[in-house]
Chains A and B, each alone.
Chain A
Amino acid sequence: MSAAVKARSREEYKAQEERLRAVWANPAGWRYWTSVNNYQIGLWYGSAAFAFMLFAGVLALLMRLQLAVPDNDFLSADVFNQAFTLHGTVMMFLFAVPIFEAVAIFLLPPMLGAREMPFPRLGAFSFWSFLLGGIFVCGSIFFNAAPSAGWFMYPPLATDKEFSGIGADIWLLGLSFIEVASIAAAVELIVGIMKCRAPGMRINLMPLFAWYLLIVAGMILFAFPPLIAGDLLFEMERMFDWPFFDAARGGDPLLWQHLFWIFGHPEVYIIFLPAIALMAMIVPTFSQRPIVGYSWIVLAAVGTGFLSFGLWVHHMFATGLPQISLAFFSAASEAVAIPTGVQIFVFIATMLAGRVIFSTPMLFGTGGLAIFVIGGLTGVMVALAPFDWQAHDTYFVVAHLHYVLIGGMLFPVVAGLYYYYPLIDAKKLSDRLGRLAFWLMFCGFNIAFFPMHLSGLRSMPRRVFTYPAGIGLDWLNLISTAGAFIFAAGVLVVIFDVLRPKHREPRGEFNPWKAGTLEWISEPEENWGVRSIPIVRSRYPLWDQKDLARKVNGGRYYLPDAEEGWREGLVTSVLDAEPIQVLRVGGTSHVTIVSALSLGAAFIALTFHWWIATALAAITCFCAVIYWLWTGTGEIPEKPEKDVGLGLSLPLYASGPDSVGWWAMFITMVGDGTAFAGLVFGYFFYWTIHIDFTAGIAGPDAAWSLAAAILFAAAWGLMVAARMFNRRGATAAMRGLLVLSLLTTVAASAAGLAAPWSPGMDPTRHVYPAIVWILVIWVLAHAALGTVMQAYCLARSLAGRLAPKHDMDLSNVVLYWHFLLITAAITFATIGLFPAAM
């Protein structure tokens, strides 16, 4: 090669790098906060979750001070109630779950060799929703208005407005809002892991972290929606006096317990699995060898994911359910110990087979697992119904759950923080401070929580704000309080280590732990994730693929350039990760903040029954979302294909099951369907508990129900026809069918409304009309959204943004209609036919 050619190619390389850097750059000044890049979002998300954790930790210390000595009056009973409710709520909803969304958003793209998550703006939306909802819920305690009925909000205490005040509404609405954020994150994670891996990263080569996160995201999809359904029923009772949990009018408080724990138990594993996922990355690095038993970890992750849904009733052993029901759940609770144990043994085997470096992350990881094993063993104890009847609602349970959550989650998270900190700042945290923090936390934790087993067995109930002297609890509580402060000192050391200025330290080395996985290629100084998207041929590419880092950073692989000025990544096939499409993702934008904040405002205004403000905020949010969709999605590219390098040319547009948007809609609607299933479960639940669950009230009109079902089916048929005509190029016919389908939907909704309306069903009178109405309202709300989608497609077609070959919008809307048809059919068959059949 002549010198001139060499110089030109070096120049060309520089120009490529500059273009790529410019496309992925963050805006400066205050506009920095409009970033949607996974690095910033992940960092903000994680920092916010940590801040909430510290807040909830302070609440815990206040509680421990109150309980240090008998008959103490440091906190009043009411403040104590608010403190423990908020402590549990914040730790679970604002720390334990979101911290993993944060870690996943931060780590997954570089780990999978991708540039970005598939829906970066959705990630940003999720973060801003979470932040606002979190501040709202936490802030309530400063106005003496925090929820005070315990983090699982049992009715009838929590439905009684006199006893629970506005705090319960803050809990319900604030958390519903955050649950929406979690589901948004789950959509992002599933599509990201399934479709956006680097070429060649077949599913047998995927990092175990990704396997775990895939399962966890799937679990979120089935666990959170029942709680959203429960929140809806709960808020309808508090706001409009619909008697879902009021036994006097046919309701049942137990339904809430079912819906809450169908969410609540899988949630424990939603929290635990990602922490173990971090361990599955850390242990091989410090054992200096690949993990032993990769497939066994996949078994454990998938197995735990499923079995954890068969455990919820073990929180309800003391509610008087038939013993056979208790026994089923007891059996499943014992069975889940098998996959949980498998993971621990895989880690031990990996350490035995390798040469272990006992670094700070390993110290936190193994120490945490030791604590977790103790919690697991007491878990096996309380999974036995007869033992649980003794220990239920005592400090024994408090000890058990903290051993599980702090050992299984907090310690591994700190391990992950020490391990991955160089990816944030290119420097390591201090080893000395880390070890000090570990021993303070480890000792403090055991001093604080081990005595609680004993105070529980000595029958100290959980959640009491004080206790009398001389009944054998004095010393145990004092020791617990001392331990809590030692533990807190350890946490403070970690925070100091993270926050202390490090600008005088030299930049750390590249891949400081000599890890084998792809995320260690990325440079904290750059925003683009990877300089070029590599071809992966190993589970530990940095160990096995020599020169990989140099070639990636030298732009020798796919998409080293951004000549059209777009943020681009690759979409690959699910099983073998063959490249199939170039995905253009959204960049920096205000629209995510505006839509998240306006949605948050709507929820907050609803809490205080400010109806006009609610409506205004909701309309703002609606407009923002429409603007977001219109300007940022389904863009028709300027050319059909693009050269991605290495002689490969890929399409720029995909629709239907080939597109990531279709999958996002599918996953969202699965979650939506689960929430609907929660409501249907409620309907049949009321049927089982009453001899005549209609209480002699006339049910919905069968003819109107039937008419609604038929009209919804017709509207669905018209939508399917519209998609077909569009693909054949018959644009005018498609538009006509869209309008016809929209009108049919309106007629179907009117018929659906008439079904419970015509016999004059009053939802406040008894639970039967209330549950019928809620099902009908669910369908009507979805139908209303469906008509918006139809109008949107029509507008897109008229604006030339929806074409015969570019029908992503229409194809996603038809998918929505498949789900709507199922929802409507089940609803109208249930409410119209079931009472007659009984």
Chain B
Amino acid sequence: MRLIPREIETLWTLFTAPVVWVAHFLVCYIGAAIYCAKPELVGLSFSAVRAGIAAATVIALSLIALSAWLAWRQWGFGTDDPPHDDPTRRDRTLFQGFATLLLSGLSFIAVIFTAMPALFLTECIR
């Protein structure tokens, strides 16, 4: 088994990083919402929720970093510059890699944005 996936040809890889953002966002929101609605359910404190969000954030950022690395590889490690508009399979691949890399960057920032409230809030104030 190899640790780093092979390069694959599909449109779906473009959406990897944003999908990780979605998953992270849902975990944070649903987790906190359930905790604040039913704190007695698991019997943990709010700091456990914050620790959970921190863990989810680390996992999400690592996955996005991996997606960014794969995108960088697909982009040929930046050997060519955009606009990648030649009618060739190679330029199409480079374009996909570059766009995926940009989306990984945006998703990385967006995950950090989502996680920031957990730095400041210490209870379920309504």
Choose the segment among A169-177, A496-504, A521-529, A532-540 that binds chain B (4+ C-beta atoms closer than 8 Å): A532-540
For the complex, is B124 an interface residue (Cβ under 8 Å from A)? Answer: yes
On chain B, the residues within 8 Å of A608 by CB distance are: none
CA distance A536 to B92 in the complex (A): 14
The residues in B between 12 and 32 inclusive whose CB is less than 8 angstroms from any CB of A are 14-15, 18-19, 21-22, 25, 28-29, 32
Nearest chain B CB to A666 CB, angstrom units: 13
Contact between chains at A325 and B29 (CB < 8 Å): yes
Contact between chains at A204 and B103 (CB < 8 Å): no
CA distance A836 to B91 in the complex (A): 56
- Given A299-B106, A307-B110, A576-B92, decide whether A324 and B117 contact each other with a Cβ distance below 8 A: yes
- Given A204-B84, A323-B126, decide whether A295 and B38 contact each other with a Cβ distance below 8 A: no
CA distance A205 to B103 in the complex (A): 19
Contact between chains at B106 and A203 (CB < 8 Å): no
For the complex, is A62 an interface residue (Cβ under 8 Å from B)? Answer: no
CA distance A642 to B47 in the complex (A): 68
CB-based nearest B residue for A306 = B18
For the complex, is A321 an interface residue (Cβ under 8 Å from B)? Answer: yes
Interface 1/0 per residue, A558-589 and B, CB below 8 Å = 00000000000000001110000000000000
A-B contact count (CB 8 A): 137
For the complex, is A310 an interface residue (Cβ under 8 Å from B)? Answer: yes
Choose the segment among A328-336, A362-370, A481-489, A791-799 that binds chain B (4+ C-beta atoms closer than 8 Å): A328-336
For the complex, is A384 an interface residue (Cβ under 8 Å from B)? Answer: no
For the complex, is A688 an interface residue (Cβ under 8 Å from B)? Answer: yes
On chain B, the residues within 8 Å of A298 by CB distance are: 99, 102
Contact between chains at B22 and A294 (CB < 8 Å): no
Contact between chains at B18 and A324 (CB < 8 Å): no
CA distance A296 to B84 in the complex (A): 12
On chain A, the residues within 8 Å of B84 by CB distance are: 204, 294-295
CA distance A330 to B125 in the complex (A): 16
On chain A, the residues within 8 Å of B126 by CB distance are: 320-323
Contact between chains at B33 and A303 (CB < 8 Å): no
For the complex, is A339 an interface residue (Cβ under 8 Å from B)? Answer: yes
CA distance A320 to B126 in the complex (A): 5
In this complex, how many residues of chain B approach chain A with their Cβ under 8 Å: the count is 48
For the complex, is A309 an interface residue (Cβ under 8 Å from B)? Answer: yes
- Given A306-B18, A538-B85, decide whether A203 and B95 contact each other with a Cβ distance below 8 A: yes
The residues in B between 77 and 94 inclusive whose CB is less than 8 angstroms from any CB of A are 82-85, 87, 89, 91-92, 94
Nearest chain B CB to A308 CB, angstrom units: 11
Contact between chains at B11 and A306 (CB < 8 Å): no
CA distance A339 to B103 in the complex (A): 10
Contact between chains at B106 and A688 (CB < 8 Å): no
Query: Contact partner of B82 among A295, A302, A303, A321, CB < 8 A?
Result: A295
- Given A323-B125, A324-B118, A328-B32, decide whether A295 and B113 contact each other with a Cβ distance below 8 A: no
For the complex, is B9 an interface residue (Cβ under 8 Å from A)? Answer: yes
CA distance A330 to B37 in the complex (A): 20
CA distance A636 to B35 in the complex (A): 57
On chain B, the residues within 8 Å of A203 by CB distance are: 11, 92, 95-96
Nearest chain B CB to A257 CB, angstrom units: 14
Interface 1/0 per residue, A323-355 and B, CB below 8 Å = 111011111101100110000000000000000
On chain B, the residues within 8 Å of A338 by CB distance are: 106, 109-110
Contact between chains at B85 and A294 (CB < 8 Å): yes
Contact between chains at B34 and A688 (CB < 8 Å): yes
CB-based nearest B residue for A334 = B113
Contact between chains at A295 and B33 (CB < 8 Å): no
For the complex, is B116 an interface residue (Cβ under 8 Å from A)? Answer: yes
CB-based nearest B residue for A331 = B113
On chain B, the residues within 8 Å of A57 by CB distance are: none
For the complex, is A290 an interface residue (Cβ under 8 Å from B)? Answer: yes
Nearest chain A CB to B109 CB, angstrom units: 7
Partner-A contacts on B (CB < 8 A): 9-11, 14-15, 18-19, 21-22, 25, 28-29, 32-34, 36-38, 49, 82-85, 87, 89, 91-92, 94-96, 98-99, 102-103, 106-107, 109-110, 113-114, 116-118, 120-121, 124-126
What 10 additional pairs, Cβ within 8 angstroms, besides A324-B121, A574-B11? A202-B92, A203-B92, A294-B82, A295-B102, A303-B107, A306-B22, A323-B126, A330-B117, A331-B116, A537-B87
12 A-B pairs within 8 Å (CB atoms) are namely A293-B82, A298-B99, A299-B106, A303-B103, A303-B110, A306-B22, A324-B117, A324-B124, A327-B121, A330-B117, A335-B114, A688-B33
Task: In the A-B complex, list the 4 residue pairs whose CB atoms are closest, starting with the nearest.
Answer: A327-B117, A204-B95, A306-B18, A299-B102
